[in-house]
């Protein structure tokens, strides 16, 4: 099964909550920004989370809904699928 990756720049989040409205992987927290539930921070400061093909469409929708364009969905080869 192919693996997909969400990369999220939390620092650039403006708290619009569009991602949380689309997917349950996102939650708006106390500071008004979204958290990507289950993610880990990489060495560059991005939050990353592997997702399955079944989860892919919903996370592409979440990325496209984000007005700040801080959510990126990539395939196993690093190709961008969204935004």
Mean per-residue pLDDT, 59-74: 97
Interval 14-52: pLDDT, tens:
999 999 999 999 999 999 999 999 999 999 999 999 999
pTM for the full model?
0.92
Rounded percentage of the chain residues whose pLDDT exceeds 70: 98
pLDDT band at 83 (very low <50, low <70, confident <90, very high): confident
CA gap 65, 78 in Å, rounded: 21
Q: Which domains does the chain have, with CATH numbers?
A: 4-42+51-82 (3.30.70.20)
For 36, the token pair is 């990507």
pLDDT band at 60 (very low <50, low <70, confident <90, very high): very high
DSSP H helical segments within 2-75, as ranges?
18-22, 53-65
């Amino acid at each position: 099964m192919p693996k997909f990756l969400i990369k999220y720049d939390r620092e650039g989040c403006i708290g619009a909550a569009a991602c949380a409205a689309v997917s349950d992987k996102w939650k708006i927290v106390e500071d008004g920004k979204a958290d990507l539930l289950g993610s880990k921070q990489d060495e560059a400061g991005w939050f990353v989370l592997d997702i399955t093909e079944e989860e892919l469409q919903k996370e592409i929708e979440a990325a496209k809904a984000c007005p700040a364009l801080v959510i990126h969905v990539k395939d196993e080869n690093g190709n961008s699928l969204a935004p």
